[in-house]
Chain A
Amino acid sequence: MRKLTGLKVPGALLATLLATSAVMADPVDDTLTINGETEIVVRTAAPEHLSGAMSEIMSGWLFREDDTRIMQADDFDNPGMIFVELAEDSWNMAEGSNGKSCADCHGASADMSEVRPTYPKWNETAGEVRTLEMQINDCRTNQMGAEEWKYTGNDMVNMTALLASVSRGNVVNVAIDGPAQSTWEQGKEIYYTRYGQLNLSCSNCHEDNYGNMIRADHLSQGQINGFPVYRLKNTKLNSAHDRFKGCIRDTRAETFSPGSPEFVALELYVASRGNGLGVEGPAIRN
């Protein structure tokens, strides 16, 4: 057996090892400015309906590592922007039996900055709360005469990323009163319901334990202001409903489907918990 003789650990290195072994999962104190010009609200006072539950809301960005945070601060370094550019092409491309593109009715995508922050939103004609995805598909089938996109398919996620990217600098502001209220209540019910063999509700992790570790990862508040997010683990854009599905699956439950009424209600409720946070999409997370 060989002896490990020549191995020395310098004192300074040892000190570093000891210092970093006490891992902190707390959110960092940092501010986000995209491309050196667009300031994003990543931390603010909680909306009124959260009084008693939490006083401050924080973007998931504050819970990520330095490298990940820096990557999001520059559009060139943000891999999600590749997909935004693809969506820009499809924004301007005429499709369907009416030969119209998104741009023919809506003008430049850059003028759509008021859209993302207010969705999901009550639609009077349809008599339902609609997510951005539902509205896009409504446009495609009724205005363009084109085929629906799959709810979490690439085309759809890219388009929602485009609409989010032009809204950066604005803050999330979904309406929870009036006709949307019953859907919001339903979403709140789901948020606080325990699911699965592990018997966990959204709030068990994202309200009671944000800032703590879940296995090797930092638990955030589960805000969706950064969606769709580019995840380093699967190197693609992920929609909020796909993330909900992943979370519920991790509680070992049968999940709802992306685009289902349950997830629409949950999206409205979770979005309302982030009322006041800046739109970040496409954000980068791990």
Chain B
Amino acid sequence: MADDVKPRVKVPKSAAVGEKIVVKTLISHKMESGQRKDADGNVIARSIINRFTCDFNGENVVDVKMEAAISTNPYFEFEAMVPEAGEFKFTWYDDDGSVYEDTKTIAIA
């Protein structure tokens, strides 16, 4: 696992059915591109988050493939309409095989 990786998510605690809500996600990650060299001229190995997904009550909502040009601390913001109370599950996949997860529950107001 890369150092200092910490997922953060912001989802409203409740929403009306069919209301458009804003979901913000950020994961702190250095996103080493694999294009850089260290002081001795050796290539620094690529180490990025390569995929981000969001599921709601088990159903996939967002699935993003990420490439090396994405900068440090990738941030995704998207809108969602919630049909029922339930749980958002967020998953980030690291190059080194680590998987970081976070969940947020939302109630119907």
Binding site for B on A (CB under 8 A): 76-77, 79, 82, 85-86
Contact A85 B24 (CB under 8 A): no
Query: Which residues from A are CB-within-8-Å of B73?
Result: 79, 82
A82, B6: Cα distance in complex, Å: 9
Interface: B36 (CB within 8 A)? no
B26 interface residue, CB < 8 Å from A? yes
**In whole angstroms, what is the CA distance A79 to B24 when docked?**
13
Q: Establish whether residues B28 and A82, one from each chain, have CB atoms under 8 Å apart when the complex forms.
A: yes
Q: Would you call A85 and B6 a contact (CB within 8 A)? A: yes
Taking A85-B28, A86-B4 as known contacts, 15 extra A-B pairs with beta carbons closer than 8 A to each other, sorted by chain A number, are A76-B8, A76-B10, A76-B24, A76-B26, A77-B24, A79-B73, A82-B6, A82-B8, A82-B26, A82-B28, A82-B73, A85-B6, A85-B8, A86-B6, A86-B28
Q: List 16 A-B contacts (CB under 8 A).
A: A76-B8, A76-B10, A76-B24, A76-B26, A77-B24, A79-B73, A82-B6, A82-B8, A82-B28, A82-B73, A85-B6, A85-B8, A85-B28, A86-B4, A86-B6, A86-B28
Q: Which residues of A contact B8 (CB under 8 A)?
A: 76, 82, 85
Q: How far is the CB of A71 from chain B (nearest CB, A)?
A: 12
In the bound complex, how far is the Cα of B24 from the Cα of A131, in angstroms? Answer: 36
Q: In the bound complex, what is the Cα–Cα distance between A86 and B6 (angstroms)? A: 9
**Taking CB as reference atom, which chain B residue is nearest A77?**
B24
Taking CB atoms, residues of chain B closer than 8 Å to A77 are 24
Complexed CA–CA distance, A270 and B14 (Å): 44
- What mask results when residues 60 to 88 of chain B are scored 1 for a CB within 8 Å of chain A, else 0? 00000000000001000000000000000
Q: Which 7 A-B residue pairs are closest in the complex by CB-CB distance?
A: A76-B10, A82-B28, A76-B24, A85-B6, A86-B4, A82-B73, A76-B8
CA distance A79 to B4 in the complex (A): 15
1/0 per position for B1-45, CB-CB distance to A under 8 A? 000101010100000000000001010100000000000000000
What chain A residues lie within 8 Å of B24 (beta carbons)? 76-77
Q: How far is the CB of B106 from chain A (nearest CB, A)?
A: 16
C-alpha spacing A85/B26, complex, angstroms: 13
Residues of B within 8 A of A86 (CB): 4, 6, 28
Residue of B nearest to A79 (CB): B73
Which of A76, A77, A79, A85 lies at the interface centre, i.e. has the most chain B CB atoms within 10 A of its CB?
Answer: A76
For A88, give the chain B residue with the smallest CB separation. B6
Nearest-CB distance from A162 to chain B (Å)?
14
Residues of B within 8 A of A82 (CB): 6, 8, 26, 28, 73
Nearest-Cβ distance from residue A30 to partner chain B, whole angstroms: 23
**How many angstroms between the C-alpha atoms of A82 and B8 in the bound complex?**
9
* CB-based nearest A residue for B25: A76
Of all chain B residues, which has the CB nearest A82? B28
In the docked arrangement, what's the CA distance between A76 and B104, Å?
15
A76 CB contacts on chain B under 8 angstroms:
8, 10, 24, 26
Give the chain A neighbours of B6 by CB distance below 8 A: 82, 85-86
A85 to B4 alpha-carbon distance, docked (Å) = 10
Question: How far in angstroms is the closest Cβ of chain A from B40?
Answer: 24
| A79→B72 CA distance, assembly (Å) | 12
